[in-house]
Chains A and B, each alone.
Chain A
Amino acid sequence: NAGVTQTPKFQVLKTGQSMTLQCAQDMNHNSMYWYRQDPGMGLRLIYYSASEGTTDKGEVPNGYNVSRLNKREFSLRLESAAPSQTSVYFCASSEGQQEKLFFGSGTQLSVL
């Protein structure tokens, strides 16, 4: 009964380093999302994948890339990390568009 699993839970990077956040869901959901949560700003959508094989930009896509590896997995890559990308990152999934969202437990990322 895992739901949405994110790795890693914590990460510290230096400015300019790259990394990939991993996300997998076991609910056979079609849609997957990456959000970031910053104090006082709520959650903001970075990228989403409506279905396997498609990805689209959200509100704040600059500095990020995504890959929908298969129906289960959706990864988020930071090519050259910047301090402004210090945040908590959440992966989410839903059965379809505008359905109930299921969230992972988050990745706390600090960029020094």
Chain B
Amino acid sequence: KQEVTQIPAALSVPEGENLVLNCSFTDSAIYNLQWFRQDPGKGLTSLLLIQSSQREQTSGRLNASLDKSSGRSTLYIAASQPGDSATYLCAVTTSGTYKYIFGTGTRLKVLA
């Protein structure tokens, strides 16, 4: 059974710092992986989607990498800003299924 873990559950960093958020999954036979952002009281916004054949995806200050063999993905945020404060969740899916398995998220606070 696929399980997705995100550690740490919470993280505080000063503004301007580069940071890495981690996502681990137990079954390496994934089809793709998505990173989401969730602001308090809001829905999720998809940030990056990485197909299993890809190693990384970039969007602006965000870079997500995928290492299927080790069951890990990282979300790199460059030059963090207070506006980046939110909960970041990852989710994986396997081939032939509509079901995404979500991690419980990392709550990020960027201090001004």
Contacts and interface: CB of A to CB of B under 8 A. Distances in A.
A44 B89 CA distance: 13
Given A105-B43, A106-B42, A100 B49 contact: yes
Contact of B43 (A44, A100, A103): A103
A48 B98 contact: yes
A101 B4 contact: no
Interface residues of B, number: 23
Contacts of B103: 42
A98 B45 CA distance: 15
Interface string B28-39: 000110101000
Contacts of A45: 98-100
Interface string A15-54: 0000000000000000101000000111111001010000
Contacts, number: 58
A33 B98 CA distance: 9
Contacts of B99: 45, 48, 58-59
B42 to A, nearest CB: 6
Given A100-B46, A101-B34, A42 B100 contact: no
Contact of A106 (B4, B43, B45, B97): B43
Given A42-B103, A42-B105, A59-B99, A105 B32 contact: no
23 contacts: A4-B43, A31-B98, A40-B104, A41-B104, A42-B4, A42-B104, A43-B44, A43-B100, A43-B102, A45-B99, A48-B98, A90-B43, A90-B44, A92-B43, A98-B32, A98-B97, A98-B98, A100-B34, A100-B49, A101-B36, A103-B44, A105-B41, A106-B41
Interface of A: 4, 31, 33, 40-45, 48, 50, 56, 58-59, 90, 92, 97-106
